[in-house]
Structure 1
């Protein structure tokens, strides 16, 4: 049996070496994939290009194959263009707009980056690009933060799961949110310890989230859940950067997510046999879609 990865061990190593968690992850991941740091960053830059294109596709107002979603990202973009109307502020508003855009691009069979899954593909680009725009961050730094997010995802995959079928939406949108929260912390210059707390707080706040896609499609409630996960990620990052800590250590939180996923009924793990998927409206929509 392979030894589980430990985010806390990586955090402790980075702290002991007195380097940023971003630098630690780049060094660690470069060694793991047998690429130079520059080659790794260049790959992440190409990944960001795909993410950016998916945002553009979503904002164009594309409709999903199932017909359940489409055009909402554009609506939110137009609404939030008037900052006087915003309840949540420009950075978070921009982030949730991007999350909807990528989710809708995915539902329309557009090219996206599964980070960590297609169903949760809007979360990470939303946080990266929204903060990049708000803080005028160079693209190379966003690519480096993407390495950090990937490292966090590796640990979650090792200790729990990234699959909705295995652990519910907490394993998809929850993990994506945790990855994005860690990326946000490093972009803000946070400490390795703060990365761990942001990851832990995000997962704690999304613990137990079920996966219940209407008609078995990655449309409802999936796309809007991406926006919700973005908000959770940014909240957790803000809390951690303020010096507030998670009482439960990050590895233990990930393990708890694994346990909750295992205990979750199979009807709530991507089978469309429970939750929102079996509401009267959802069943009527499913019947209509599947007859077409």
Structure 2
């Protein structure tokens, strides 16, 4: 498998050949993995199908996490989005929020999800892509191809920084997922490779420093709702890039900065449940409720 060293490398190669980043990545990875492009495309197509299934599962009204702390958020948001009156964020965006909550909730309920890039951030990319597929009528082929772009951007982030909350805080999880989704959305809307990079950079900049403080050490509170924030940032970052608004700081430098910030975060704010919301009075009560009688 080819490992990309930088976003600028991806952009330069794609622009030199006048093709989309997704086309470049599909070709490169298929050759490196000794597969046909069709075989590799079908593997990615299966990922998208699982994303759609996890949305469906997460929208069920009786969904509950194993801990009992969360469940039903996707259903409630979907009912609100499709109910009477126009939601503040608009019907389409509210349905996207519902889908992000649904997938994150499906994960908490031990359902099958696609870690894109992690289980804790699993609702962001599906929330974006399933919405464009189901509400905007985008072709499945284009959606699946955009996932190659998001995957390549995620690979760069993993190589240059981190995708783990335990290493870089939630900026490494939800921040990376938002950046990946922003790049995919930008390509889907006809944006150039350079605009995909700008969207990625804007998304990272807007989640820089986000801590990882799961209540009780479980990927539920506040993780599930942070998927919504990441989704909103992905959409807004893509729209800014498509409007011609560039990131003054290049994407690769934003990723480097994210790594530096992650390294500087104290241990208590890196998935240890020893700080932030996890150690608030209510956070401690919720932890004790789940783990009562355990040491």
Regarding TM over 0.5, the answer is yes
How far apart, CA to CA, are the structure 2 residues paired with 1:117 and 1:232?
17
How far apart, CA to CA, are the structure 2 residues paired with 1:90 and 1:21?
31
| Superposed displacement of residue 4, structure 1 | 7.1
Q: Is the contact between residue 22 and residue 147 of structure 2 (CA under 8 Å) also seen in structure 1?
A: no
Query: Which residue of the partner structure matches residue 210 of structure 2?
Result: 209
How far apart, CA to CA, are the structure 2 residues paired with 1:32 and 1:176?
25
Query: Which residue of the partner structure matches residue 135 of structure 2?
Result: 134
Query: Which residue of the partner structure matches residue 33 of structure 1?
Result: 33
Query: Which residue of the partner structure matches residue 18 of structure 2?
Result: 18
Residues 1:161 and 2:162 are matched in the alignment: yes
1:222-261 deviation line (CA, Å, top 9, x unaligned): 0000011000000000000001000000100000000000
Residues 1:179 and 2:146 are matched in the alignment: no
Q: 1:83 to 1:176 in 2, by over 3 A?
A: farther
User: Which segment drifts farther, 277-286 or 78-87?
Assistant: 78-87
How far apart, CA to CA, are the structure 1 residues paired with 2:54 and 2:135?
20
Query: Which residue of the partner structure matches residue 87 of structure 1?
Result: 88
Gaps of 5+ in 1: none
Query: Which residue of the partner structure matches residue 170 of structure 1?
Result: 171
| Superposed displacement of residue 83, structure 1 | 6.5
1:61-84 deviation line (CA, Å, top 9, x unaligned): 311111111011111101110363
Gaps of 5+ in 2: none
Task: Report the 3-state secondary structure (helix = DSSP H, G, I; strand = E; otherwise coil) of the residue aligned with 1:113.
Answer: coil
| Superposed displacement of residue 289, structure 1 | 0.8
TM-score when normalising by structure 1: 0.96
| Superposed displacement of residue 50, structure 1 | 1.1
Structure 1 residues 112-151: aligned runs within 5 Å: 112-151=113-152
**Alpha-carbon RMSD:** 1.3
Q: Is the contact between residue 125 and residue 180 of structure 2 (CA under 8 Å) also seen in structure 1?
A: yes
Task: Report the 3-state secondary structure (helix = DSSP H, G, I; strand = E; otherwise coil) of the residue aligned with 1:69.
Answer: coil
| Superposed displacement of residue 31, structure 1 | 2.5
How far apart, CA to CA, are the structure 2 residues paired with 1:42 and 1:237?
26
TM-score when normalising by structure 2: 0.95
Task: Report the 3-state secondary structure (helix = DSSP H, G, I; strand = E; otherwise coil) of the residue aligned with 2:135.
Answer: helix
Query: Which residue of the partner structure matches residue 259 of structure 2?
Result: 258
Residues 1:277 and 2:278 are matched in the alignment: yes
Count of matched residue pairs: 290
| Superposed displacement of residue 86, structure 1 | 1.2
Bigger fraction of residues in helix: 1
